Every structure is written in structure tokens, then in C-alpha cells.
Structure 1
Amino acid sequence: MSGQVGRFVTSKDGTKIWAEDGGNKAGIPVVFIHGLSCTGHAWDKQFGDKKLLEHLHLVRYELRGHARSDYPMTEDFYTQEKYAEDFMAVIESFGLKKPFACAWSLGAATVCDVAQVFGPDVIAGTIFSGGPVMTLDHHKEWIHNELKTNLPSFLSHDGDLLPIAANVFVDSCLKHPQRDLPFEARVKWLGGFLMQPPTVRTYTFLRGQKWDRWEKEFTRTPHLLIQGQDDKHSETMRVLPLIKKVIPDIEIKLVDDIGHSPCWEVPELHNAYLLEFVQRISGHDQ
């Protein structure tokens, strides 16, 4: 895989958002949105997949307050409107027309933001790639007890505690972290957590969010959930009935023996589900 150069996209408020594309520019557009305290590297196994690169135009970006994007330090920069504007700036920069969104964990909240602020016709369909924060309110109904217990340390400002919290956080993202996260990759994941100021992490996780328009107008669009049976961020057995109640037609792929990160833990299976879904919905079945 070539070096990740990417570009900086300027959002409406002037915040610089790092983004990168790959694959077939004439293919089906899919935007990948990472989770809390993570980076675009979460999608390395999608951006290195030959079939996805052949058929899809892949775009990934890093949320404001994360990784290579800007880190505004006041709460007014972390609102629903700002996250939606970032998404719009990215798709406009790459010339995408009604892309799919593949969103992991807290990244899923951005899908709601876009539909709530800009309406239901921006995104063609959604792939929830593990432990979705479908909305911030709904997530409270299925947050895993382990994540709830660890949240105070994850949001701590104690410099001596943060390296410990970072390791706990990274381990909690996978069922078998020692097997599935070699040291070089682990350092990238740890870096994503540690380079984020705790103040920004708090603004990101505890922000407000409206979702009435999203529920009324967007939940009828195609959705796919790829969910690990042993997710330690979202309680899978609570996620399934609740998400079906809100999005009755959502397709669900439940995967055994993995945790919060199906895009990383079982990339071949994850990518096959993703590709089949977007091709079928787009009418580009192969």
C-alpha cells in the first residue's frame, strides 16, 4: 500500500479535516468514519482490500479533534452541526454524490448528524461496522458495563493515568488484542488515543444530539449492521432488539468470537458483507 498522504479539507468553520481516498474513482462511493479517540488507520484493512479498491471509491477522514485533523479547544466546536458540516466538506472535496457511509462505533453518530442537519438524501445507505452509536441517546441504552466502568479513566486529565487508560481502551476494542493487533499497529491505535486532549475527548463523547428528523426521514434508507458477539463497548444482546425497533428493515450480520472491531478483526468477512450490500443497493450486483 502506498504512503498515506491524504489532504486537508476546510470545514465551514475553518477547521482543517484530514481525508484520503483510494480505489476506483468511478466506483460506488463509500465514506469511512472511525470511532472515538481513533484514527483513519482503523480502516487500513479496507483500503488494502483488492476487491474493494476495484469496485468502490473509498474515502476516509478523521473527525475533528482526532489524529491529523484540527483540535479546537472549546465546546462550541463540537456540535451536531459541525460534525455534519465536516462530512459535507469531505464529500464535496472528493466530488462524491450520495455516498454510502461505513461508520464504526462513535463514528455512527455522524450519520445521524448529517441526516438531522441536511436531510435524508445525502447518504445512500449505512453500514454500521460494530458497536454503533446510532445516536448518543440510544447508545446509553446498550452501553456495555465494562465501557461504562472504564469511562472515567478514559476521560481523565491525569497524565500518569492516561497511558494505562490508553492500553485498556485499545484492548477493549478487540476480543483477542494480542493476536489481532501486532505492536506496530498497536502503537498507531495508542497514538490515536494519546494525541487527543482529554478535554476534546470529553466534548466529543458528551456532546448533545437531536435525532427526531433522522428517525422520521432517514431510518427507512438501507442499513446493514455487522456486529461482534463479544463487543465490550456495546452489549450485543441489547443492541439487536433496540436497533430493530428503530430501524425495522436493518440487515444484521452477527459474527462469533470477535469484539468491537469487525473491520479489523475479520476484515475479509466484513468487506465481503460491505461490498455485497452496497452493490446490491446500488444495483451494481456483480
Structure 2
Amino acid sequence: MTDAAMTDAASTAPSPLSVTTPDGLAIAASVWEPDGTAPGPDLLFIHGFSQCGLCWSEQVASPALAHLRRATYDFRGHGASDKPHDPAFYQEAGRWADELAAVIGQAGLDRPILVGWSYAGRIMCDYLARHGSGAVSGLVFVDGVVSNEKRFFGTCNRLMRQMCSPDPATNVAATRAFLRNCFAREPGRDAFETLLGLNMLVPAPVRAGMFGRPADYDGLLGGLDLPVLAIQGAQDIVVAPAMAEHIAATVPGARLELFAEAGHAPFLEAPEAFNAALARFVADVGAR
């Protein structure tokens, strides 16, 4: 990831959109129109725990993906979206599913490929369980979470719990440490500070509300009839590579791509290689 990535992406002007969820939240979304050079499925990027849509700056500004319609959104409790503190807004799978469906519908996305990082793996599964697969073309799990089993996680769960602390000193220290652990090689200072700022937009009660809900998706994944790509940083110590291997082994026909030098954020650590892999997957999906 380069220090200029956030600035470069900001100069690529998206269309902002406020999406209203069925449970009454305002969700901030952005849509980038294609440059018209080639057709392809739309892309919807979904961020992870304590981040926001701006983390996809290297993707929405990528020449390798510029021919596609691209969209991001800040899911509930994050970024510029509404942040209710009531745990019910984060504990019920249907709310996450309906939020994603609202983004797809109100952004006018045409059977997008969903690209979900980390916690967003759960959101994609919640959506499929409730709404089916008819409105999407494919799935990309990026160091994605689909299970609560301890064997699929690394060494950062304690830090994530401390990120829920109402004590500012504990919260900030844990957030800084967690963010560093997301990378095999820490990004430059400006980029790190930007990402830290995005993390600190998320209130502690929101973070706490996201813990503890069940994750039983194996039956769903085993019955999927969609193109699926699991991309994983081989040096990830947040979500173990075993999680991506499980996805690839469970979903019929799923593909696995390991990024040997990346940690939990391969789309930021190796953006050109990540974008090339995503472009290949999009082309394969479009050719079906």
C-alpha cells in the first residue's frame, strides 16, 4: 500500500449515495462508473471489522478494474453510516442481510460480484441465507470469516476484545496494535494513520455488539452454485489461512489464491497482484 493511495482514490470522483435499510438506518455508499472500455459484472466491495469503504482505495482507483462499475459502502456502525449502540442492530443476521440487499437495490447494481474482507464473509453468507443468490454473480472472500471455530483464527482475538473497551487509553492502544497485526509489513506512516483514523470512527459499543453471534454457514457454502474465489494472505495472524482453505474445500468449484508475502489485508499489501487476480475472476465470471 502506498501513502498516496487514499488521496489518489479521492481524486477519482464517485457518486455518493445514502441507502436506507429496512430497520431505518442511513448507510453511506459510493459508486464509481466504468470508463466504458469493456463490459463486466459490477463489483461491490464490503469492508471488515472496524474499517469503512475507504479501505478499498487501491481497488476503486485501479486501472485494472476501471472498466467495471464499482461500489463501496460503510456498513452499520462504521464510517459515515448510522451508529446505533443497541446490540440488537448487530446481533441479528437478518439486519445484515437486508442492509446488503438494500445497498444492491438502491445503488442499482446489476448482479454484482461481492468482494468481502474478513467480517464481511459473514455478511455475504447472511445475505445468501436470507435472499438467495439470484441477485449476485459471484463471491470473493478476502481473508474472509465464515466460522467461529478457534482453529480458524490467529492471535488477535484478545486485542479485538480490548478494542471494545470504553476506556480510551485501552481502546486506542489495542486498535493500534491490532492494525499493525493486520499487515505482514506495516504500511507507510500516512497510510497507517489514515487507517487508524477510520478504525477510531467506530464506537466501542458497536464493536462489542458485533461479538458473540453464531456463525453456522457450512450447509449454505456446501450448496452454493456460484463462482467463488478465496483470497488469503499466507502470513495472516488475524484470520488463519485454514479459514480460506475451509472455504475452498466446502464450496463446490471454489478457487483459492494465497498471497505468500501478505497478512490480513492482501488488497492493501499487494494491490496490483490482488487487482489482477480479481480482474481475472471477473473475466471468468463474465464469460460464463
Question: Does the TM-score normalized on the shorter chain lie above 0.5?
Answer: yes
SS at match of 1:137: coil
Task: Indicate conservation of the 8 Å contact 2:144/2:244, yes or no.
Answer: no
1:100-128 deviation line (CA, Å, top 9, x unaligned):
10111111111101101111223211111
Task: Indicate conservation of the 8 Å contact 1:228/1:260, yes or no.
Answer: yes
Distance 1:161 1:244, change over 3 A: same
- Is 1:233 matched with 2:238? yes
* 2:274 equivalent in structure 1: 270
Q: 1:29 aligns with which of 39, 42, 52?
A: 42
* 1:155 equivalent in structure 2: 164
Whichever residue aligns with residue 62 of structure 2, its letter is: D
* 1:76 equivalent in structure 2: 88
1:55-81 deviation line (CA, Å, top 9, x unaligned):
x11010111000101001112212211
Task: Indicate conservation of the 8 Å contact 2:15/2:32, yes or no.
Answer: no
Task: Indicate conservation of the 8 Å contact 1:230/1:256, yes or no.
Answer: yes
* 1:192 equivalent in structure 2: 198
Task: Indicate conservation of the 8 Å contact 1:32/1:43, yes or no.
Answer: yes
Q: 1:214 aligns with which of 220, 225, 233?
A: 220
**Higher helix fraction (1 or 2):** 1
Distance 1:248 1:216, change over 3 A: closer
* 1:259 equivalent in structure 2: 263
How far 1:229 moved relative to its partner? 1.1
Task: Indicate conservation of the 8 Å contact 2:43/2:71, yes or no.
Answer: yes
* 1:247 equivalent in structure 2: 251
How far 1:189 moved relative to its partner? 1.2
SS at match of 2:19: strand
Distance 1:216 1:256, change over 3 A: closer
Mapping of residues 37-186 of structure 1, within 5 Å: 37-54=50-67, 56-78=68-90, 79-129=92-142, 131-133=143-145, 135-137=146-148, 140-144=150-154, 146-177=155-186, 181-186=187-192
Q: How far apart are the structure 2 equivalents of 1:108 and 1:158?
A: 29
Whichever residue aligns with residue 270 of structure 2, its letter is: V
Task: Indicate conservation of the 8 Å contact 1:67/1:192, yes or no.
Answer: yes
1:77-110 deviation line (CA, Å, top 9, x unaligned):
1221111111111111121122110111111111
Task: Indicate conservation of the 8 Å contact 1:228/1:255, yes or no.
Answer: yes
- Is 1:2 matched with 2:12? yes
Which ranges in structure 1 are unaligned for 5 or more consecutive residues? none
Task: Indicate conservation of the 8 Å contact 2:230/2:248, yes or no.
Answer: no
Name the stretch that deviates more: 203-212 or 7-16: 203-212
1:232-280 deviation line (CA, Å, top 9, x unaligned):
11122x2354223322421111111111111101111101111111111
Q: How far apart are the structure 2 equivalents of 1:5 and 1:21?
A: 5
How many pairs are equivalent? 274
Q: How far apart are the structure 1 equivalents of 2:103 and 2:246?
A: 31
- TM-score normalized with structure 1 length: 0.89
1:131-169 deviation line (CA, Å, top 9, x unaligned):
211x2435x43011x113323322222211112111111
1:195-220 deviation line (CA, Å, top 9, x unaligned):
211111011233344536623542x3
Identity of aligned residues (%): 28
Q: How far apart are the structure 2 equivalents of 1:115 and 1:93?
A: 18
How far 1:27 moved relative to its partner? 4.0
* 2:229 equivalent in structure 1: 224
Task: Indicate conservation of the 8 Å contact 1:120/1:217, yes or no.
Answer: no
How far 1:53 moved relative to its partner? 1.1
1:165-199 deviation line (CA, Å, top 9, x unaligned):
1111110111111xxx2333222211222121111
Whichever residue aligns with residue 285 of structure 2, its letter is: I
Task: Indicate conservation of the 8 Å contact 2:46/2:114, yes or no.
Answer: yes
Q: How far apart are the structure 2 equivalents of 1:16 and 1:207?
A: 23
Which ranges in structure 2 are unaligned for 5 or more consecutive residues? 1-10
SS at match of 1:205: coil
Distance 1:27 1:126, change over 3 A: same
Aligned-residue RMSD, C-alpha: 2.0
* 2:23 equivalent in structure 1: 13
